[in-house]
Amino acid sequence: MQTVTTPDGRTLRVREGGDPNGVPVLFHNGTPGSSLMYEPHLEDARAKGIRLFSYDRPGYGGSSRHEGRRVADCAPDTVAVADALGIERFCVWGISGGGPHTLSCAALLPDRVVAAAALAPVAPYDAEGLDFYAGMGEQNIEEFGVIFEGEEKHREVLERDRAELLSITPDQLIEAWRTLLGPADVAVTTGRLAQYILDTARDGIEPSLDGWFDDDVAFTIPWGFELESISVPLLHWQGEQDKFVPYGHGVWLAEHLPGESRLTAEDGHLTLAEHRVPEVHDWLLAHWPG
């Protein structure tokens, strides 16, 4: 781990893994999660010659808060991290809440990003023709809904959910997320994945829930870029059984994003993290020059 200072004086906690001499690939974690990376992803990166790096978004873990941030503000933070690591060109992938941040890098950093992959990204809240809540698990409906009831109520709900994540065991995660897990996700929310989900959440939110709060708000206000402006190679992946970010989001994004979309009936939300990342790494490497 190391700390990077942004041009405006904030700090970002950065982690690296995989092959230190490999192809640079930036990972944007989901909400709420830190830069802690899943060991199977690191093992795959080492085997394939990928230098995998990540950073805590502002307000998570070891990164200072950027109050009022938009999704687009991820791009200059990414530049600050890449510059500090001596990385000029890189690929990027992100999952869930990291998906929109991946899309911002693809749209706003075409001179730095070689290729990008967004797994189960939430769609813009004001997306025309999208029923944002259709097919979404009750817990996420509540989390998004309270955003519009004001900061006090929003923080009250997040504080309750934060306390639960800080106290439960991996074996209790399925019950804690009972409205969010379809059959495919129930099958993988055990063992090492359940432990990792709790580890990265705790690493991100134990010091503060500001990052989680700011992520939620950023998803529901204008993102600061147009999806149609993305010009770099892009892979979008959505599971039909997803109840965190429902399938309708994936269908809408498939119709509005340039690039390739994979809509898979056998996947949920967490199955993408458990099973699909090696394919994502392969796809990104296929677009790396040379």
Per residue in 215-248, pLDDT (tens digit) is 999 999 999 999 999 999 999 999 999 999 999 9
Task: Spell 109-121 as b/e; 16+ CB within 10 A means b.
Answer: beebbbbbbbbbb
Domains of the chain as residue ranges with CATH: 2-286 (3.40.50.1820)
Cα–Cα distance between 205 and 195 in angstroms, integer? Answer: 15
- What digits encode the pLDDT tens for the residues 28-80? 999 999 999 999 999 999 999 999 999 999 999 999 999 999 999 999 999 99
pLDDT band at residue 290 using 50, 70 and 90 as cut-offs? confident
The model's pLDDT over 144-179, given as tens digits with 9 standing for 90+, comes to: 999 999 999 999 999 999 999 999 999 999 999 999
Is 0.95 surpassed by the pTM of this model? Answer: yes
Looking at every residue in the chain, the average pLDDT score rounds to 98
For 76-110, the pLDDT digits (tens) are 999 999 999 999 999 999 999 999 999 999 999 99
Q: Give CA–CA dist 86/68, Å, rounded.
A: 29
